Structure 1
Amino acid sequence: MAELPTIPSYVTVHLSAPNSNAENITVRFSDYIKNVASSEIFPNWPVEALRANILAQISYTLNRVYTEYYPSRGYDFDITNDTRYDHAYTKDGEVFDTISLIVDEIFNNYIRRKGAIEPLAAKFCDGRITMCSGLLQWGTVDLANQGYTAMQILQYYYGDDIELVENAPLTDKTQSYPGVALSRGSFGDDVRTIKNELNRIRRNYPAIPNINTATSVYDGETVEAVREFQRIFNLTPDGVVGKATWYKIKQIYAAVKRLSELTSEGLTIPEVERVFRTELSLGDSGIEVEAVQYYLAFLGYFYPQLPPIPITGFYDELTRDAVFTFQNEYDLPVTGVVDLSTFYTIERVYKNAVADLPANYQSAIGEPYPGRFLVEGDRGEEVRVIQQYINRIAQSDPAVPEITVDGIFGAQTRRAVIAIQSQLGVEQNGAIGPVEWVEIITRGNNL
């Protein structure tokens, strides 16, 4: 069985026709696509036209690499820059910012025929001077102006039987984008990893502020560090780790680590430590299991097909049965194992359920968890609500300090949360996740 295509780290380009005596240069795959796109199309074209052309260029290049088109013929390169055979590639050519941003977002997406493995050999021509049976580049502009999406443009030229493969893995084993953007209030191993990598990058780029990596919560410090990283590397400075930022962090982290190898620097313990597992199954225990149980228990109030489960922190048969049911309802592989795909789907369904609740609604288990971690620096009604419940606890528990109810998550609130986390025996990060939320609400309601 053929292996699935992966995205190469680099491609080797022959700067002339295949059988000519010319220079070979090796460039990063994403940089190659940026150069090709900047050489062949115009950056002021409609965005959907740009995306369609770039996807065609990516797919064609990957087809050449995957099928070993040139190496199988005895050549020592992956592709040429002769437009009679391949793409236009200009050595040291200018790359346009608009195109660079799109490539960073979609460089590991490609199109293929449904039922096929290999990326489509997506042939194209300019559509003015030259015509062909594939995509017409200037024609994509007309279609985009008519409201076609990039995928509709590609189907117009290549047929309805093509499909988009998203987030293909990288050959160099770079950790794949989790499929969901990381932002303020996110939590888990992916967050901790990004924090550690940004702190390592900071040694070479000291303008990036230091982050406390003792917790796995995406807090205000992380937002600011991500924003500064994005400014340095010409990404949209929104403080969110989307796909483009994810892979840029991975790329720069790998680069600074390679540089550091000259001084024989090894990985430090925090860089390899994994706190949140990528899979949960029967017999597991801990805060991750409690979070999944909370989500499923809450959803059970609205979806009767989900069996009721207690929040114990132990992945028992009841939890597995609830996971079986959820996976079946949402067309996921019915494994009883909570992998990242199942977890993110549970989280998404939970957030949608909370968003659909009427104003000031209280469920049978109390105020619904807002669907993200609350961290120091947050403001709003959700903070005010949890502060009120913390004060109820403080009136009968001297270990929990009373705080000002002002809707501002400050140092006072953080200290109170840490006191409660200490009693729970969970990570004392001062952030309110689903476990802390349900504990505070439940204790507050019982007083």
Structure 2
Amino acid sequence: MPKLLTAAFVSGMLAFWGLSSQAQTRLPPPSVLPPTPNVSSPTGSVVRRSLGFGDFGRDVEALQRALVSNGINPGPIDGDYGTLTHDAVREFQQLYDLPVTGIADQETLDGLGVGIGEEFANDLPYVAAVTEPPRYLGRVQRVFGNAVVDSARQGEFINIGRYSSRSSAAERVREARRSGFDARILYQR
């Protein structure tokens, strides 16, 4: 069950990252935070809820294969969510009366029979994490469409991508920081 961010969690995270505890004053008291959605995910794994432009890897490859199995050409099966994959997802969404966005959201993935995140979680131990409260999810999703609230032993964070290499996760974290978010790399096995 998701837990609300607390001052203790924030202090612990700040201490872990070697930052000043003054940053915690930005957070409102826990009574002001909205309730978090009741999303269950297997302990220790990150389950991404959507795929979109800029995503790459085995999850995108699985999506591309599922599109081909459904008679839709996503271009080369290269694990890169580019224009061809985006257009193929839009075509699938249109054919099956789903909201036509070009983003492979949970409803689209379910329609294709694609489960993402869980199967390859151990192959992608580096998580690009925005350490803002979950109430900032909407803001983060404007920049990173596939962002989801996730949790670790230390508490909740906003997951903006899972990677096999630290350098790939670091690039995503730099992008988040350029967009004004407090972001870190988390290692999860």
User: Per residue, is there more strand in 1 or in 2?
Assistant: 2
Could you state the TM-score of these two structures normalised by the residue count of structure 1?
A: 0.21
**The structure with more radius of gyration:** 1
